[in-house]
Amino acid sequence: MAKLTAHVDLAKTDNGAILLNSRTGAYWEVNDTGRHIIEALIESGSREAAAQAIVEKFDVSLEQAEADIKKIVEELSEAGLLTE
């Protein structure tokens, strides 16, 4: 199950969202698709369910949704902003 790491907040913006670690000052800006991926991961509890939600929201292939989710999870995990 994906979740934001301790001290990380997600703030929605007009074009996506900003994730900010208030302890370290690290932040990451994502576009609207990235915001929906993060929210789907957190709400659904699995990559598979999040991928299905992205397919329905953006009318993309399941393979593309899975690849986008994999990439954002890797990047945000490496930045210390998301854990699974």
**Residues 22 and 9: beta-carbon distance below 8 Å:** yes
| Domain 3-83 listed as CATH 1.10.10 | yes
Q: How far apart are CA 69 and CA 75, in angstroms?
A: 10
Q: In degrees to the nearest 10, what's the CA dihedral of 53, 28, 32, 78?
A: -30
The answer, yes or no, to whether residue 80 has pLDDT greater than 90, is no
pLDDT digits (tens, 9 = 90+) for 45-74: 899 999 999 999 998 999 999 999 999 999
Backbone angles phi, psi at 40, to 5 degrees: -65, -40
| pLDDT per residue as tens digits for the range 15-46 | 999 999 999 888 899 999 999 999 999 999 89
